[in-house]
Structure 1
Amino acid sequence: MSCISDMGKLLRKSEKQLSIASTEDKNLALKKVIESIENNRKNILESNEADIAIAKENNMKPSLIDRLKLDDEKIDSIIESIHTVIKLQDPIWKSDKVWTLENGLTISKMNVPLGVIGIVYESRPNVTVDAFTLALKSGNCIMLRGSSTAINSNKALVKAIKEGLANSPISEDVVQFIEDPNRDHVLEMLRANEYIDLIIPRGGKDLISFVVKNATVPTIETGVGNCHIFIDESGDLNKALDIVINAKTQRPGVCNACETLLVHKNIAENFLPLLYDKIKDIVEIRGCSKTRSIISMKEAVESDWQEEYLDYILAIKVVEDLNEAIDHIGKYGSKHSESIITENLSNSRMFLRKVDAAAVYVNSSTRFTDGGEFGFGAEMGISTQKIHARGPIGLEQLVSNKYLIIGNGQIRR
C-alpha cells in the first residue's frame, strides 16, 4: 500500500472529527502549535540552515534563497500569522442566506469544509504552517508536499505542528506530510480522488502546469506573477519612483513583484532617467527600442514580455497611451496583479474595469497582493483563475456549501 493511500485514510478518518470541531477547540489547537513552534525554534532554524547550505552549493539564485531562508524575524511572522487566523471569524456552519418558499419550506445556505486539501508547493517553508493553519481553522484536513530544497525545514515545522496538536483536542492526523522526494508521489497525490477533495499548486510555472495537466482531483490554479506597473502621463513621478522600486526590489523572488514596467510616451523622457539612476546598480533593465533611445540598456526580446523573472531584472516598454498599456497587459499578463500610477480619475476607472487580473491597483505597489496584507492572516496561494476563488486564498475560499431545508410535511406536486 502506498504512502499516499495510507495518509489519505488517516485524513479521511480525521476529517469527520475536524468538520464538527468547535471554534474553541480549533483555536486552542492553533495556540498549542504556536507554543510548539516556539519550543522548537532552535531546531527549525538549524534545519533551515542545512537547506540553505545545500541551496548555496547548488548555486541557487539569491532571490530564491531569500524565499527559502528562515530567521527569528520570519518565525515571529509565522507565529503572528497564526495569531491573526485565530482572531478571524470561523467560516464554518455560518449562513449568509436564509429564505422561506411559498410552500413553507425554509432553506439555509451553510458554509461547510471542503474535506481534505492537498497542496504541492516549492521552496518557501512558511507555506507549510500557513497552509496547515488555514486548513485547520476552516475545518479541512491537509496533505502537504513541499519541495526537496526545503525538506529539512518542512520536516522540522511539521514535527512542531504535530507536537502542538498532540497537546490539543484536535488529532495530529489532520495534517500529513510527504517526506519522500520521489516525484511519483506527486502524481499519485494528484489522482487520489478517493482521499483528496482539492489540490492547490503553489510555485513556478512548470509546477503549476504539471499539476493542472495531470490532476484528476479538482484544482485551484494559483498564479505565475508576470505583474505590470503602468505610469500614466498624469502620474506623480515621485510616487511612481517609490512604487516601482518597491515592487521590483523589495523581494524580487515573489509572485507579486513587478516584472514589466509600461511608461506613457509623454513622460518617458522625464521618468526613465530618474528610475535608471535609482536602480542601475541593482537591477538589470531590458527595454524596447523607444526605451533604449532614452537610456542605455539591454534590448528586450519577445520572451521578456512573458517572463516571470523572480530576480533583479525589469523589462520596460514605452507605450502610446492607456489603451496600449491595457492591451499589452491583456496579451502578456498572468492575471495576477497589475497597477496604474495616475492622477486622472477617468483613466484609473478605465484601468480598474478593463484590466483582467485578480488584483488591480491604483497608485500602489503590487507587493500588497498577499493574504497577510489583505487581513486573511495567511494564504494558500494567489488564485488567478475565475472559478470558485480568485486572489489570495484565505479561510472564506476554503469552504463549500450545504443547503439545509426544514419542512413540515411538504410534498412536491
Structure 2
Amino acid sequence: MTAPTPILAAMSRKPGPPSRWRRARWLGFLLCMLGFNGYPVSDLLSRGLPLPAVAAVLLALAVLDGLWVRTMWLALATTAPARDIAPWLAGVALIGSGLALIMRGQFVGVPIYVSIACAVSLPLRWVLPALTCATAVALVVDLPRPTHLGISPSEVPNAVFGHLSFVFFLGLMMWFYRRSMMLIIELREARVALARLAVTEERLRFARDLHDLLGHSLTTISLKSQLARRLAAADAVVRAEITDIESVAQQALREIREAVTGYRQTTLTDELDNARATLAAAGIDVVVHLAGSGLPPDTDALLGWVLREAVTNVLRHSRARTCRIQLTRVGGTIVLDIRDDGVGTGQSAAGNGLTGLSERLAAAGGVLTTESTPGNGFHLTARLPSATGAAQAVPTSSPLNTGQVPS
C-alpha cells in the first residue's frame, strides 16, 4: 500500500515522513494564528494593572502560545500518536481556560485556541464534547462583561453570541477539515486495496486459464504420443522421435502445473496482512490473536485460503464494524476462528465458496463450521489436525471459487 502524504498521515496517525515544505507551511500558519493575541494583549495594557501583574499575565500568555504551537505542530505536521499530544493539549486547555476565566474581557478569545487544538488533536468522538466545554468557558467569561470595554447594554447579546460562535464554529470547522482528510485517506486506501484484490483475482483467472487450456492440450498430445509410439513399434527411429515428443509434452505439462501453483501460492501470514489492510480501508476494525505459530506449509496455505474467503465475505455482506481473527492450538488441532459483528442473516445454506472450502478441509482431515445469526454477525471456524495432507486440498486444476454466503 502506498504511504499517505504527510498531512494525511498525521491526521490518520499513520507513519509517513513529513516534508520540509509541509512543515514550513504549517509553521507559518501557526505563527499567523498567534496574531489574534493582539486583542487580549491590548486589553491587558489598557487596564492600568501593576507592572508585575502585567508581566505575569504576559508570561502565562507566552507559555500558552508555546504549548499551543507545539500541540498543533504535533497534530498537523508530524505523525505523533494522540497519547504523545495529550500532555501538551492538557496544558493548553488548563492555561487557556484559566486565563480566560481570570482576566475576562478580550481574553474571551483565548478559548478559540483551546477549541482549535482540541479539534485537531483529540479522537473524533471526543471533539464535540471538548468544543462544547470550550464554548461554556467562553460563555462564563462573557456573561459579566466589563464596563471599561465600552459596550452598551444593547450590544451585549450580539457580542456574546459572536464570541461563542467563534469559539465553537472555528473548532467545528477544523474538525470537519480533519474528518474530510481522513475520509480521503480511507478512500485512497480502499482504492489501493481494491486494485490489489483485482490483481489477485486476475492472477487466479490467468492460472486457471493457463492450466485448463494448455494443460488439456498437452495432456492430449501426451496421450496421442503414447498411442503413436505403440503403433510405430516396428520402426525404432520413428518410435524414438515419438518418445521424445511424449517426453517434451509431459515436461511442459509439469512446468505449467508448477507455474500455476506458484501463481496460486498463498500463506496465512500474507493473507493476514491483506486482511488488515483491506478491512481497515473499509472502516472495519481488525483484532488478531495468534497462538498457533509454526504451522506446516500445507496447513498454512489451506488456512490462508480460508481466511481470504472469510474476509471477502465480511467485506461484501456483513456491514460489520469489527472483525476478530483468532488462531489457536487445541491439543493436536489447529483452530482458525473468524467472526464479525455485522448484520447476520440466519441462513444456514453455504455458497459455492464455503462449500468448496468445506470439501478441501474435509480432504485434509479438517472441518469447517459456519453460523450466521441476525444481529450477531457471521462466525466461521476451521479445524485442521496439526499434521495434514492439506496439499491435496488446494488443487491446481481450478482456483478457489469466490462465491459467498451472505453474513
TM-score (norm 2): 0.21
Greater strand content: 1
Highest RCO, 1 vs 2 (Cα 8 Å, sep ≥ 6): 1
